[in-house]
Structure 1
Amino acid sequence: MLPKIIILRYRLIILLAAFLFNTLAFSTTVLYTYAQHMRPKYFLKSGKIAGFCHDILLALNEELRSEGIEIRYKNDALMATTEILNALERNEIQIFVGLGYSDSYGRRFNFVKTPLYGMREVFLIRISQHESIYSQRIVNVGVLKGTVPSARVKEVFEGLRLVQFDNIDDAIKALDKGQIDTIYGGALVLGSYVKDNPKKYQLLGVFTDKFYHYVVVNRTVDTNVVTKLERAIKRIHEKRVIEKIIKKNNLGDFVLPGNVVEILLIDWRPYEWYDKVEKRWKGVDVDVVSSVFKKLGFVTEFVSFPWERCLQAMRALAYDGIMSLRKSREREEFLVFPDEPLSTGVDLLFKMKNKQLDISRLENIPEDVVCGYTLGYAYGDWFWNAKFKKEAVATDELGFRMLKRGKIDLFICNLLVAKHLLRELRMENEVEHSKNFGEVMIYHIAFSKNYHGQYLASLFGPELRKFKKTTEYSKILQRYGLKYEDFWSSFVY
């Protein structure tokens, strides 16, 4: 029989081994962070950290628990943005929840590419200033040090004198005292002041940059950890957690979940149009875009303006994407086009049947003939090189109405769009069209030329290519009376 002391020693060894095994098996990677001095993202409530981004951090920790990762505050203090970024860079902390992307930050840190939430840059003013601010020659603008809007404001607007602040509380105090005329920043932060003080503050309604906030880590964090963070963010979007946090904080007017993609478009049947009965956007391109983004874990929201205003908004980086449009050198200056096209079409010349005009060949059309075209559309070179006169109109529908009234002699339009419009206008038996004088028009979805737009384009193109090979794609075409050959028979990949 073994002595009791030896048995006790064996038991201690076994217990120690079990403890070490459990510790290693369930060890947690702790990523330290600071809370930002930026209400409503972070603030102190009864001495404890609270806020919109704090709620997101807690949701991330729920998802990361099974991955053996925890995001933990270094302390309960609120820190200025610049202090947080400096701490992140020197590895005092490893992670921060809620940072906007800029090229300079991209060189310093690693951004988890799926965004947490999106918003626009806005101006906050006192309601009592609403009339006077537009007449001021020089506007004193408060900005928050280290934020993306503070770096961009002078690129977007002229005649501004910037005053920098370490935190939002100091900026608001300066606005209230009349030391500055307005504050420029993200709608999440500034919108919360409008929400809490609707009779005191308001936001100025101008097209401004839409940008996103991300989880960001420093260069010491392992790529496997970044991958796990990416998965966790996608899961909380799938579970609509951030949407619920937005509703909980009553911030729906100022911020959107990061998986919501806002796409600009116009009524352009059968590609895209708004069904007033069903109160939703429909069309072959709408259904395809929605389906592809759904597979990627995104939700689409469609927004409509007149076409020229859509292009203007995209130049201002105010929305995520625009459809359906042709690629051109001019557009590539402010848009990112995925390699995979969305749909195709042909542009033809239309005239009234009772109009004595030979349109069998371009050379037969006299130079004094007036042909209408829709402002902002990208037509083929054959059209612009034709010798007849050209007159811009606001919409395709207006063009056909002008054609019927004899205000113009010809109108150029996409064939599929024209067929639908002429039926609606009850003109299908009164109008005839030319043959195709140019190439097949290739239509795309395009994205803002920024960090998130580049990311969306890199995801969307390959997924669209796969989607076109599915029965789901064929069923969408059939829904609108189309076949695969109608779009792609003359298109070579």
Structure 2
Amino acid sequence: MKVKMSILFLFLLIFGTYSIFGIVLYTYPQDAIPKYFKLGDDLSGLCNDIIKALNSELSKENIKIEYKSKNPLTISEIFNALEKNEIDIFIGAAYSEDRKDKVQYVKTPLYGLREMFILKKRSSNVIHFSSLTRIGVIGDTVTSKSLPNIFNKSQITAFKNINEALKALDENKIDALFYSSIVLGYILSQNPNKYEKLNLVDEKYYHYVVLSKKVNNYVSQKIEEAIKSFHKKGTIASLINKYKLQDYVLPGNVVEILTVDWKPYEWYDEKEKIWKGFDVDTVTKVFEKLGYKVVFRTLPWERCLDAMKNSAYDGIMSLRINDERKTYLVFPDEPLSTGYDVLFKMKNKNIDISSLENIPSNIICGYSIGYAYGDWFWNAKFKKEPVIDDVTGFELLKNGRIDLFVCNLLVGKSIAKDLGIENDVEYSKIFSEKMIYYVAFSKNFHGTYLSEIFTPELQKFKKSSDYENILKKYGLTLKDLQF
């Protein structure tokens, strides 16, 4: 018995703060509802509930989280305490480049949220940004440092906490308040007739478990395993619903990916109300194996790219790599799929498309805005007309408004079939190199992590019978997508 106790003592001495109960990780609550509420001498709130769930899950490892004090502190005070090893852990903080070398972040996020503006309810439905000249923020937060550049910094007021900021908003000392959707969304849900939000798609980011540098890898790993287990069981999702935050906060295992109709790679089935396509099925299956759930969103392609420049979503598919996109996107090492671009024309058009040199310079060729075509297309001497998407391009082609349209071969054949003109169109030989398509991620902490874990899982999945079955479902084989 003495030998066993000595081993336990040595284990605790190596792995963290120790007591007769095991490893104790001390924390502070934050002065931020609904993450933490002070109820008399007790605490409540979303992150407090997560601590309770973690304690239940980690009890079998003899790890426990305890409050060093129940007096709420600002996020700046909490990070100072972590950096000084005054506390060991904090539940519910955004990643910060300024803090990454001073603390540890558990890479699996707790929940995703967005930046958000709220203002006092107005009688008019039209709100002009130009009228919002005085903006309130919460000082020393990640959100306060990412306020859009359209606002003059001299007109920004930093407040210590949300209560001070709301008071200033109520007293018309500021025009709007800019902060995270978890806090402002909760305030909106509690005061629907008092405040309203601006309908903007702002940057998406995540809250994590943060550890002091002294906490070892063993404890960090057990916490990460617990968070993954919560996502699998729906624990975090249930807590989000408990606090009526489902319109403002998503569980950390939900990956939002932007795409457009690009059949057979990806498209929205209006009848079944689901996204389909061999790229859709592949991405969904790979993320399922990683413990994530994919939610597909759609916008016009140019707006998809603009949204990703603002890190408004987690990822975008299917697209090629180019230097401009690499400035705001992270591309995994493994491509998702391949294809070839060709020129389509109506058979009744007397245009020789057997070679680019044979196409007269007065011929008009349509192309989709924002798509990355090869140099062969841009260097061709014919005229180039931008259109909003591939379907519009084929409709213009059908109606004789343009002479040619450049499109991915598989996509073009699919659109022609859907429009009932598959027997009326023909396409050129392949002038381009093979197009390599990727799912790319936001160039931030979480996007980089998703890219890292996605690559090996996709490589493994492509060697499976499940992948071959997906291709077969859409009338394709591995040979059609040789990499």
Distance 2:395 2:474 in 1: 25
Distance 1:126 1:137 in 2: 13
With over 3 angstroms needed to count, the CA separation of the structure-2 counterparts of 1:144 and 1:28, relative to structure 1, is same
Distance 2:470 2:266 in 1: 13
Task: Decide whether the 8 Å contact of 1:138 with 1:159 is kept in 2.
Answer: no
2:145 equivalent in structure 1: 151
Q: Provide Cα deviations, 1:81-114, integer angstroms capped at 9, x if missing partner.
A: 1111111111111110000011001122110001
Distance 2:289 2:8 in 1: 38
2:103 equivalent in structure 1: 109
2:266 equivalent in structure 1: 272
Provide structure 2 residue ranges, at least 5 long, that are not aligned to the other structure: 12-19
Picking from 39, 51, 60, the partner of 1:45 is 39
Count of residue correspondences:
474
Q: CA deviation at 1:158?
A: 2.9
2:225 equivalent in structure 1: 231
Q: CA deviation at 1:170?
A: 1.1
2:14 equivalent in structure 1: none
Provide structure 1 residue ranges, at least 5 long, that are not aligned to the other structure: 1-13
Q: Provide Cα deviations, 1:52-84, integer angstroms capped at 9, x if missing partner.
A: 111111111111111221111112211111111
Q: CA deviation at 1:129?
A: 8.1
Q: State TM-score, norm by structure 2.
A: 0.95
Tell me which moved more, 397-406 or 432-441.
Answer: 397-406
Picking from 280, 287, 294, the partner of 1:293 is 287
Tell me which moved more, 369-378 or 86-95.
Answer: 86-95
Q: Provide Cα deviations, 1:400-454, integer angstroms capped at 9, x if missing partner.
A: 1111111111011111111111111110111011000010111100000111110
Picking from 202, 206, 214, the partner of 1:208 is 202
1:398 aligns with 2:392: yes
1:195 aligns with 2:189: yes
Tell me which moved more, 368-377 or 22-31.
Answer: 22-31
Partner AA of 2:246 in structure 1 = G
Q: How does 1:107-256 map to 2 (within 5 A)?
A: 107-128=101-122, 134=128, 136=130, 139-154=133-148, 156-160=149-153, 161-256=155-250
With over 3 angstroms needed to count, the CA separation of the structure-2 counterparts of 1:141 and 1:24, relative to structure 1, is same
With over 3 angstroms needed to count, the CA separation of the structure-2 counterparts of 1:268 and 1:132, relative to structure 1, is closer
Distance 2:444 2:109 in 1: 13
Partner AA of 1:93 in structure 2 = I
Task: Decide whether the 8 Å contact of 2:107 with 2:208 is kept in 1.
Answer: yes
Task: Decide whether the 8 Å contact of 1:133 with 1:181 is kept in 2.
Answer: no
Distance 1:128 1:195 in 2: 17
Q: CA deviation at 1:27?
A: 4.6
Q: Provide Cα deviations, 1:133-173, integer angstroms capped at 9, x if missing partner.
A: 6264662211112211011115x433352211111111111
Distance 1:361 1:17 in 2: 84
Q: CA deviation at 1:240?
A: 0.9
3-state DSSP of counterpart to 2:29: strand
Picking from 398, 409, 412, the partner of 2:406 is 412
Picking from 299, 304, 307, the partner of 2:301 is 307
Q: Kindly, what percent of the aligned residue pairs are identical?
A: 52
2:67 equivalent in structure 1: 73
Picking from 457, 470, 479, the partner of 1:476 is 470
With over 3 angstroms needed to count, the CA separation of the structure-2 counterparts of 1:61 and 1:135, relative to structure 1, is closer
3-state DSSP of counterpart to 2:98: helix
Picking from 423, 428, 432, the partner of 1:438 is 432
Task: Decide whether the 8 Å contact of 2:133 with 2:151 is kept in 1.
Answer: no
Distance 1:378 1:409 in 2: 21
Distance 2:280 2:49 in 1: 34
Task: Decide whether the 8 Å contact of 2:132 with 2:175 is kept in 1.
Answer: no
1:456 aligns with 2:450: yes
3-state DSSP of counterpart to 1:329: coil
Distance 1:42 1:209 in 2: 23
Distance 1:366 1:226 in 2: 65
Q: CA deviation at 1:47?
A: 2.7
Distance 1:296 1:19 in 2: 38
Task: Decide whether the 8 Å contact of 1:123 with 1:184 is kept in 2.
Answer: yes
Greater Rg over alpha carbons, structure:
1
With over 3 angstroms needed to count, the CA separation of the structure-2 counterparts of 1:190 and 1:137, relative to structure 1, is closer
Q: CA deviation at 1:127?
A: 1.1
2:16 equivalent in structure 1: none
Task: Decide whether the 8 Å contact of 1:448 with 1:454 is kept in 2.
Answer: yes
Partner AA of 2:178 in structure 1 = Y
Distance 1:86 1:226 in 2: 20
